[in-house]
């Protein structure tokens, strides 16, 4: 088989050698394109994984900030409610004292009613 190809190239027309070169060049380019395509897909997958990792990192940081803000909001509301309860109880005590004072005043001066 090889002998036939060599005879054909040597004894054939100059176009036969050129045709053989074009055939060899076609298959070499095809292999090179295939290799480059595989490298490109590999690089694409690697970049996609890095993008996903970065996205996940940002998502975790975002969720942490949200949780921290919600926790702070709950603590602030609880603190405000406690302070309001304390002030309300103080106001109740003041109101009771004021009523007692009014009753004493009324008892002392019944004519001011």
pLDDT tens-digit map of 28-38: 999 999 999 99
Rounded Cα gap, residues 70 and 20, in angstroms: 74
pTM of the complete model beyond 0.75: no
73-103 pLDDT, tens digit each: 999 999 999 999 999 999 999 999 999 888 8
Helix/strand/coil (H/E/C) assignment for every residue in 20-39: HHHHHHHHHHHHHHHHHHHH
Question: In this predicted structure, what is the pLDDT of residue 16?
Answer: 75
Which pLDDT belongs to residue 1?
Answer: 67
Compute the Cα dihedral for 49, 54, 60, 66 and give only its sign: negative
């Amino acid at each position: 088989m090889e002998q036939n190809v060599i005879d054909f190239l040597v004894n054939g027309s100059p176009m036969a050698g050129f045709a053989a070169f074009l055939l060899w060049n076609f298959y070499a380019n095809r292999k090179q394109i295939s290799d480059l395509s595989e490298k490109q897909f590999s690089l694409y997958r690697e970049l996609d994984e890095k993008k996903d990792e970065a996205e996940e990192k940002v998502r975790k940081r975002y969720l942490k900030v949200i949780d921290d803000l919600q926790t702070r909001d709950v603590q602030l509301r609880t603190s405000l409610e406690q302070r309001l309860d304390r002030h309300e109880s103080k106001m109740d005590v003041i109101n009771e004292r004021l009523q007692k004072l009014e009753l004493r005043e009324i008892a002392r001066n019944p004519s001011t009613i």
